[in-house]
Amino acid sequence: MDKLNSSESAAAELSPIEQGKRLAGYKACECLRDGMLIGLGTGSTAFYAIERTGQLVAEGLRIKAVATSEATAKLAAARHIPLLSADAVTELDVAIDGVDEIDPQFNAIKGGGGALFREKIIAMMSKEVIWVMDERKLVPAIGDFHLPVEILPFGASSLIYKIDHLGLKPRLRCRRGEELPDWTCPTVRRQIEVLQNPSESKQLWVTDNGNLLVDLMVDAPLDLGYIQKNLLPLTGVLETGLFLNICARMYVGGQGTVREIINPSPAKR
């Protein structure tokens, strides 16, 4: 059995949601051409784009890639995808990534996997950004999914107090197992205790950049203007999981098919 048929057989064992993710991830890779520099995203749907890219490389496709996380770099290396550092290039042809929520205006939340800072850097380096997802990720208004914020560890206690004072319901992200996020610190006081206790601080989710993550437990619809005006200027806030009108097109997998949705006016980068 050849690799593609073997892959198709494995896909038949997937749940409907995973099948949708796979369809979207594979479809996005149809744009790849010899000589391209590509950005590889992070997360459960981006995984399928990485998987398909590896298959294409094995079939002779000549591309080079920049990974948005250490986890993605490991997946790509295992599939013999040639990797470059982000500093080796100034521009990428395309970035293919997943998304946590996206509305009809192409405003999105990303960062559930903790790679939001690098994902945004790669997106801003790319001529085109393609997002892949299953149908659940399409929402009327973003905000039901927590909004990740990457913050500097130095002075994090004070910053969390300030974010809470803005009414944005911060939850310091901890780690349960290798990948699963854990929000067992519901109060600001408890979050500060964890930061101050060396034994407990080992539970903190540390990004590939060495920073911390705070998830804002706000509700939809998200007040984008309020967040941009009040949260982003706070010293110590490095980046948020808001990706506003960055994506040029998205592929949505579900019920055995893939829909392509094109953004009529993506923001210039």
Indicate the domain borders of the chain: 3-139+244-261, 147-239
CB-based contact 162:233 (threshold 8 Å): no
pLDDT of residue 247: 97
User: What pLDDT was estimated at residue 201?
Assistant: 84
Indicate if 119 belongs to the active site: yes
Residue spans of beta strands (DSSP E) within the chain? 37-40, 64-67, 92-97, 101-102, 107-109, 126-134, 147-151, 170-172, 174-176, 180-182, 212-216, 237-240, 242-244, 249-254, 257-262
Q: Is 169 annotated as a binding residue?
A: no
Q: How far is CA 231 from CA 62, 130, 167, 239, in A?
A: 42, 27, 10, 10
Q: Is 72 annotated as a binding residue?
A: no
| Cβ neighbours of residue 72 closer than 8 Å, sequence gap 6 or more | 40, 41, 42, 46, 50, 115
By DSSP bridging, strand 92-97 and strand 37-40 are parallel
Q: Which residue numbers in the chain have pLDDT < 50?
A: 1
210 is in an annotated binding site: no
Active-site choice (101, 119, 150, 239): 119
Residue 1 has what pLDDT?
Answer: 46
Check the annotation: does 3 bind a ligand. no
Cβ atoms 89, 125 nearer than 8 A = yes
Residues 263 and 106: beta-carbon distance below 8 Å: yes
CATH number for the region 147-239 comes to 3.30.70.260
pTM here is 0.91
| Structure-block tokens of residue 234 | 């706070």
Q: Which two tokens stand for residue 192?
A: 């500060």
Look at residue 194 and give its three-state secondary structure: helix
What residues form DSSP beta bridges with 257? 254
Per-residue confidence (pLDDT) for residue 81, from 0 to 100? 99
Q: Which architecture characterizes domain 3-139+244-261 according to CATH?
A: 3-Layer(aba) Sandwich (3.40)
What pLDDT is stored for residue 180 in this prediction? Answer: 57
pLDDT of the residue at 6: 56
Question: What are the CA-CA distances from residue 115 to residues 59, 120, 122, 134, 212 (Å)?
Answer: 29, 9, 11, 19, 11
Token pair in block for residue 164 = 């809470």
pLDDT of residue 154: 97
Cα–Cα distance for residue pair 48/22, rounded to 1 Å? 5
Whether residue 98 is annotated as binding a ligand: the answer is yes
Half-sphere exposure for 99 (CA within 13 Å, toward CB):
35
Annotated binding residue 100: yes
